[in-house]
Amino acid sequence: MTSKRVVIVGASRGIGQALVENFAKREGFEVVALSRNLAKMQADFVNLPAVKCFEFDLENDVRTQAEKIFSTIGEIDFLINNAGFLVNKPFQEISSQELQKSYQINLFGVFETVQAVISYLNPTISHIVNISSMGGFQGSMKFAGLSAYSTSKAALCSFTELFSEEYKASSIAMNCLCLGSVQTEMLAEAFPGYQAPLNTTQISEYISDFTINAHKYMKGKIIPLSLTNP
Ligand SMILES: NC(=O)c1ccc[n+]([C@@H]2O[C@H](COP(=O)([O-])OP(=O)(O)OC[C@H]3O[C@@H](n4cnc5c(N)ncnc54)[C@H](OP(=O)(O)O)[C@@H]3O)[C@@H](O)[C@H]2O)c1
């Protein structure tokens, strides 16, 4: 079986960590794990020979950092933009720094990572998956306190459509998954005591299958993944 290479941004904990573990168990995948916390990834993935880890910070000269990493790893089949930052605060209390950071990690960093990856993608077919949130999905139930987070995730949905229009004649597919709640440290920190209906193992199985297969059927789509209505 030909080996496929998947790059996962935000791989040190939560959904990203589960994604690395999921892909690493599948036959024929090389996994490139990116986050700021290199030491934790190297320790957690020490027994997974298919995994290579790199330090990567979405708040610092993203395009240059990404190009440096991508130029050393070889052709990329899949990119999952999974890193995220959530601030849960009343609208009036959100600082300029928190607003900037939300957009930097959830949108601008993704934008520049994608700019960097284009020339390293498999020229035959590739799939970029953006991880957004139900909070950023138009018409979904909204939650007070998430104005910085959910607007930045909505912008990520919009980016998916705009990129897809510009690259519609190319071999690059991009889709966006809007996740409902998943039990992770991010969720527990933002909503202490709340119990999500899904864990990281469950959602990572879905996201991995989607990444490997969905681009054969769709491009530029924003998919809500939620067990609640709306
Ligand atoms: N959990 C949920 O209920 C839920 C619901 C909807 C959507 N989502 C989305 O799903 C994704 C994963 O969420 P999660 O709950 O697993 O979050 P998490 O536990 O907080 O993990 C976030 C990951 O992003 C990385 N990250 C954060 N800032 C970064 C930066 N500046 N540069 C590079 N990497 C950075 C973190 O690594 P380092 O700290 O090591 O850099 C970490 O690996 C996020 O995009 C989130 O918005 C989650």
Q: Is a pLDDT exceeding 70 seen at residue 1? A: no
221, two tokens: 């789509």
CA separation for the pair 18, 90 (Å, rounded): 31
Nearest CA to ligand 1 atom 14: 14
Cβ-contact 30, 3 below 8 angstroms = yes
Q: Is a pLDDT exceeding 80 seen at residue 230? A: no
Q: Is a pLDDT exceeding 90 seen at residue 198? A: yes
CB distance 110 to ligand 1 below 6 Å: no
pLDDT tens, 125-158? 999 999 999 999 999 999 999 999 999 999 999 9
CA separation for the pair 101, 116 (Å, rounded): 20
Half-sphere exposure of 14 (CA within 13 A, CB side): 19
Residue in the block written with tokens 């199985």: 205
Mutate which of 20, 82, 112, 189 for ligand 1 pocket (most atoms within 8 A of beta carbon): 82
Atom of ligand 1 at shortest distance to CA of 41?
A: 40
- When pLDDT is cut at 50, 70 and 90, the band that residue 66 belongs to is very high
CB distance 82 to ligand 1 below 6 Å: yes
- pLDDT, residue 229, reads 73
- pLDDT, residue 177, reads 98
- When pLDDT is cut at 50, 70 and 90, the band that residue 2 belongs to is low
Atom of ligand 1 at shortest distance to CA of 56?
A: 33
List of residues 6+ apart from 2 with CB closer than 8 A = 28
The domains of the chain, with CATH numbers, are 4-225 (3.40.50.720)
